[in-house]
Structure 1
């Protein structure tokens, strides 16, 4: 087969007429091994038919599910997995692998208790004897029982996961001999797959909660310690914080302590004292107290002045009528003097109170200044101490924030784990199948044909590699390094009868060999030609007779010599006696004319082998054969010698050396190339000239030799098309 696929060599490039297309070579090969191919195809079809008829009916149930990348979360609480966790390319491949996991098969087996279910084993063709054999095997340490392992193997073998292309849908199919069992297992398989997915999610949530619990305990201890450190430091430094905040510009943490609050209050009191002192001082520096606001607004002084004004008016009226010494006028005057004294006394008291207010304001201002200065010193020291206190406080705040965040996440994970999420939904539940899914006669026969085709190709390739026969005309020149004289077809009738008909295919092919042989020498047809082959039965004797007969038809006298002194056959081909012959002449008999027989064919005479000698090489090794040939050539134009096969014998080497050359006969597709090469090598080493090779018994289907295309087209046959009709 490999040689058939090879391209044409240089000789083929020069002679395009000998080129055979590759596909045609394949066809020739298939036709050559048609019986083997037919046998393989027939055996495969019979096997497929037998398997189909003997198989138990199987029922397949289908459950359709949808696997989404996004989980269907019933709460707004984020789970442990991120939103992008399921968007990887491996997501669906992982889901398909999980659908075929052994752990899922174990869940299904344990849920339905299949290890103890006889219906399950009957639905899968497991007999009671097989179960007993399984039960006799021991349980593995720490593993499942033998039945459980068998159940898991059966489940995984009969479940089929088929993703629907370009979708999120997946078909889960289960096949068994029981339609009810198939539907039950298909639905249970999907339910357990959803359950295992939920369990894995809950397990991951539990792991996250355990991790968060550990982190919370650690952060809680750190938070408590950092708060203790901050409080202890504040107590040691007498820092009493009232409230805390941050500077809006620099976001630096600030704290308001008791000292700063006291300082603010004293500072405000100092400011008020200073204001009071300034007011008191301005009152003192403002002039006489009689015209001051306090005096003018004093109720007592106002009343006394009003009374004095009344008395003054009364006194003036009395003065109009009476003298100043008038008792009534004097009494009024004395009252006026008393009121003036009282007013002066009250005015003096107001002036004295101004002075006292000023002094008190000065003292209060001075005291407040002293206290503010002392608090400034205290606050300045606390500000230096507040640096370390802020460090403790920031550490406590950081730990508190981490603790609060982890606590919130812990609560969210707890809620998500309690509610659960699911990204798998059932689209179609499996129903009990009503028709078997297998065996499928058409599918099984098609599979058998495919197997037959594969086996046929493999067998033909193997046979082609093993077969070393000559299959193509080019093989003679390419593989044997000898010229191709012609090829002779295989005929079913008697070759002698076929050669009697000039229009026969056999006649035409041998005539072509005779014509090609005429170009083997410079003087035309060789006068003495020996025919031999690698082994017996290759058509050597028939070829010798055919060449001799064809040469005799051209008006030449031809002597056909049967030199095969071991297995002669020419006398049987021509139906002539063989009492005397070549062996007698080689032994010394000189009556050549009495031994040579006339065949009755034009120009053809026969010298049979005669009695078989005990040692043919002894007779052939002498010079007697060469002398006889010289004698024959005096009466005959050509001498055709039928020699024995080359391999294993020395006869052909001795005979060929006495003739002008040898025509080597090769049976098509039968004789191994190694045998032909060995025979040709022996002939050459013995000094024989080889005119060429003739390929015999070419099957009519072998298009490589042209017989498949109507070799006998035309040539004057009665059934040939008339001139001008193209076949």
Structure 2
């Protein structure tokens, strides 16, 4: 990895910026991982936890399923109609429900799950005193309600057992309305298939019966109410009729029943009105007769022949005889004189006939006059009678105003009474018919296969639950785990540039691994050396210290390896053991630590006796020297800076194996005197919070941290997808790997 930092002069120590939060924008070389990759990383890292939880839940689900008692579910389907199918042609007593069908059906669903209905079913099926029923559903027989006398439950506990039986039925009942339909499924589940079918069918039947009973109760209530109203209406009708009759008797008002639509809307007519109508009709007839008689009389008075004379048979016979005689007389006059005896005889007959005709016409004229007089007198008499009846009728109308008021009250009371009476009869018929809007569509059959447990479904659910639990545990562990698992986390969690990662070497000492030019350790530290070459403008810093948060994180191995890699690059290198509390470099050279760094810090100026050469690794080393009473006091002076300056006169690079940071002041003191600090972080071995605290201490000492090295890294324990381990074995044969 190429890490570029600002150039530094030897001896300078710039401050370390505060570590950035994981995934925070602005972290050096860090990019926030996509959310799916983060989840995938967590799942792969904690895959064994997730798989273990899933396997445990799967096994638990299998065991629980096999131990479960088979349950059988019987289903009865009913239809709940929105409107009742009426047998009669009149409306029910109950008020029509509003158009909000949802409210209506939700009410019906609630009634299907009512406690009263459950207890009714328990009573009908005789479950209240059935010991096997309560045993089947695991009832607590220590309850006082289950006390027995003579081998039977006592009657005193019957109400409590009825309540318990209803609760048991409700707990195992399921109501499932079919979407967008009026069908409702009644499901009951128990360990007995036949019993489940009995309960489901009994539930549907009792729901229909309770629905009918509610309607009957509503009808009975309405009938009682109407009966009271009917008695009151009858009393008001009787009182109004008595009042009407009393007033008619006082006012002498006599009305006859009407045979049609008369002048009164009450259906009655008065005698005066009938008589007035009759006389008025007779008056009209008499007036017509008088006018006709007067016309005949006027015609006769003018001397003309009246129509009566013209129609008179006797006059017409006389006139015909006279005409015949007149014709005979005219014939004789043609031949004879008027004195001719036969002529005179005919003339005498004609004269006699004229007198007879005149006498008969006079008699007819007298008769016409008499008829006219009689018609006029009859008309006048009728007119006088009609005028008198008019006065009586007007007086009757004045007296009938109050009578009509009483009559209207009677009619109103009678109409109300008749309506209530008719309604009362209809309610009686409706109560007897029993209108119902609920019907059974499919009765419950005895189920042939258990509805639960379902092995495959339960195992699938158990597996899903296990995966969910495992995922939750993985996230919880991820949040609690502060270990650095991957090289990328050095930069993301700590904000340190990553110089490289060092694989964990087992079964071989680090020094022996460094002597093998093809070992994974050599490849890793060559990569770190390459990264160090980009940390300053002049390449690898001339003076550098290697430290860590706590002991045994691989800092000494890192210091040894960097010194070895630099020496192999034809550089003069000296490795200084700066850990005067727990020295380790002298073990690598096979010498003791009687002479070393502590001697120089204590005042000895000759450096050569304090060093020893490591021939196999190709560099010079300086042990820690005798362990001083307080190493920090020796490091606080200027002797360490003087030592580094003098060593740089003879060597190209000074590598100091520094003590750990936490709990000691040595590391910050050493870090402030070198050009740069390499920070070793143990993979899967140190919490990131502790590392951050240690880095803050170094930053407080104005140390320049070049970057971090992830030590003891195991690719198989890290997060997949990063490819940090591929280069360690590249080009090596199986024989090389086996060495």
Please indicate the TM-score interval, normalised by the length of the shorter structure. 0.7 to 0.9
Whole-Å separation in 1 of the counterparts to 2:169 and 2:658: 74
| Aligned position for 2:216 | 202
Distance of 1:505 and 1:668 partners within structure 2? 16
Task: List aligned pairs for 1:268-279, cutoff 5 A.
Answer: 268-278=281-291
Aligned: 1:110 with 2:123: yes
Q: Shift in Å at residue 262 of structure 1?
A: 0.9
Aligned counterpart in structure 2 of residue 150 of structure 1, from 144, 158, 164:
164
Query: Is 1:430 matched up with 2:482?
Result: no
Whether 1:667 aligns to 2:670 is: no
| 1:169–1:276 CA distance, 2 compared to 1 (3 A) | closer
Distance 1:221 1:592, change over 3 A: farther
Which residue of the other structure, out of 546, 550, 560, is the alignment partner of 1:535? 550
Partner of 1:123: 136
Number of the residue aligned with 1:548: 563
Paired residue for 1:637?
Answer: 652
For residues 193-230 of structure 1, the C-alpha deviation after alignment (integer angstroms, 9 at most, x for no partner) is 22222222323333443444444445444545555555
CA 1:268–1:146: 2 relative to 1, 3 Å: closer
8 Å Cα contact 2:22/2:493 also seen in 1: no
Deviation at 1:415, TM superposition (A): 2.2
| Aligned counterparts of 2:203 and 2:706: Cα–Cα separation in 1 | 81
Look up the match of 1:483: 497
Q: Does 1:95 align with 2:108?
A: yes
Query: Hey, what's the Cα distance between the residues in 1 that align with 2:519 and 2:229?
Result: 105
Given that 1:701 and 1:708 are in contact with CA atoms closer than 8 Å, whether structure 2 keeps it comes out as no
What's the CA shift for 1:681?
1.7
Q: Of residues 453, 458, 463 in structure 2, which corresponds to 1:444?
A: 458
Which whole-Å CA distance do the structure 2 matches of 1:8 and 1:534 have between them?
Answer: 23
**Counterpart position of 1:68:** 81
Please identify, of 627-636 and 674-683, the stretch whose mean Cα deviation from structure 2 is larger. Answer: 627-636
1:116 alignment partner, SS class: coil
Give the 5 Å matches for 1:167-246.
167-225=181-239, 227=241, 231=245, 238=253, 240=255, 242-243=257-258
Question: Does residue 681 of structure 2 align to residue 687 of structure 1?
Answer: no
Deviations 1:546-568 (A, max 9, x none): 22222222122333333233444
Closer, same or farther: CA 551–214 of 1 in aligned 2, 3 Å: farther
Q: Unaligned regions of 5+ residues in structure 1, if any?
A: 137-141, 310-336, 721-727
* Post-superposition CA distance 1:692-727 (Å, at most 9, x none): 22333444157768654762288533489xxxxxxx
Distance in 1, Cα, partners of 2:22 & 2:653:
42
Residues 73 and 617 of structure 1, relative CA distance in 2, 3 Å threshold? same
Preserved contact between residue 503 and residue 715 of structure 1 (Cα < 8 Å): no
Q: What secondary structure is seen at the aligned counterpart in 1 of 2:467?
A: helix
2:500·2:708 contact (CA, 8 Å) conserved in 1? yes
Contact 1:194 1:424 (C-alpha < 8 Å) held by counterparts: yes
Q: In the aligned structure 2, how far is the partner of 1:134 from the partner of 1:233?
A: 77
Secondary structure at the residue paired with 1:439?
Answer: coil
**Structure 2 residue corresponding to 1:617, chosen from 632, 636, 651:** 632
Which deviates the most, 626-635 or 259-268? 626-635
Secondary structure of the structure 1 residue equivalent to 2:76: strand
Q: Contact 1:65–1:424 (CA<8 Å) still a contact in 2?
A: yes
Cα distance 1:607–1:53, how it changes in 2: closer, same or farther (>3 A)?
Answer: farther
Q: In 2, distance between residues paired with 1:558 and 1:231?
A: 145
Counterparts in 2 of 1:558-569, with a 5 A limit? 558-569=573-584
1:708 & 1:388 partners in 2: Cα distance?
A: 116
State the match for 2:468 in structure 1.
454
Query: Compared with structure 1, are the counterparts of its residues 482 and 105 closer, same or farther at alpha carbon in structure 2 (3 Å cutoff)?
Result: same
Contact 1:578 1:609 in 2 (8 A): no
TM-score by length of 2: 0.77
> What secondary structure, in the 3-state scheme, does the structure 2 residue paired with 1:422 have?
coil
Contact 2:578 2:624 in 1 (8 A): yes
Bigger RCO of structures 1 and 2 (CA < 8 A, at least 6 apart): 2
Which residue does the alignment assign to 1:420?
434
Shift in Å, 1:94: 3.2
> Aligned in 2, Cα 1:667/1:212: closer, same or farther, shift over 3 Å?
farther
Provide closer, same or farther for how the CA distance between residues 54 and 283 of structure 1 changes in structure 2, counting only shifts above 3 A.
Answer: closer
Q: Look up the match of 2:151.
A: none
Partners of 2:445 and 2:621 in 1: CA distance: 90
Secondary structure at the residue paired with 2:637?
coil
Q: Is the 8 A contact 1:558 1:636 kept in 2?
A: yes
From the superposition, tell whether residues 506 and 426 of structure 1 become closer, same or farther in structure 2 (CA, over 3 Å): farther
Q: What TM-score do you get using the length of structure 1 for normalisation?
A: 0.78
- Counterpart CA distance in 1 for 2:620 and 2:158 is 94
| 1:52 aligns with one of 36, 46, 65 | 65
2-structure distance, mates of 1:700, 1:615 = 40
State the alpha-carbon separation in 2 of the partners of residues 135 and 274 from structure 1.
110
The one of 5, 9, 25 aligned to 2:38: 25
- Quick check: 197-206 or 277-286, which moved more? 277-286
Query: For the Cα contact (< 8 Å) 1:529–1:640, is it kept in 2?
Result: yes
Residue number among 159, 164, 167 corresponding to 2:173 in the alignment:
159
Q: How many residues align?
A: 675
Offset of residue 499 of structure 1: 4.5
Deviation, 1:489, is 4.1
Deviations 1:329-350 (A, max 9, x none): xxxxxxxx9xxx9999999999
Any idea what SS the aligned residue of 1:89 has? helix
1 CA distance for matches of 2:524 and 2:239? 116
More displaced stretch, 494-503 vs 19-28:
494-503
Correspondence 1:250-399 to 2 at 5 A? 256-278=269-291, 281=294, 287=300, 360-384=374-398, 389-399=403-413
Partner in structure 2 of residue 466 of structure 1: 480
Q: Secondary structure at the match of 1:521?
A: coil
- CA gap of 1:74–1:386, structure 2 versus 1, over 3 A, is same
Give the CA deviation at 1:48: 1.8
8 A contact 2:597–2:610 mirrored in 1: no
Write the deviation string for residues 516-536 of structure 1: whole angstroms up to 9, x where unpaired. Answer: 222222222112211222333
Taking the aligned partners of 2:218 and 2:385, their CA distance within structure 1 comes to 65
What secondary structure, in the 3-state scheme, does the structure 1 residue paired with 2:436 have? strand
* Deviation, structure 1 residue 605: 3.7
How far residue 110 of structure 1 moved from its aligned partner, in angstroms, is: 2.5
- Is the contact between residue 578 and residue 659 of structure 2 (CA under 8 Å) also seen in structure 1? yes
Please state if 1:676 is matched with 2:676: no
Q: For residues 349-383 of structure 1, what are the alpha-carbon distances to aligned partners after superposition, in whole Å with 9 as ceiling and x for unaligned?
A: 99887776655544433332222112212323444
8 A Cα contact 1:120 1:181, kept in partner = no
Q: Which residue of 1 aligns with 2:525?
A: 510
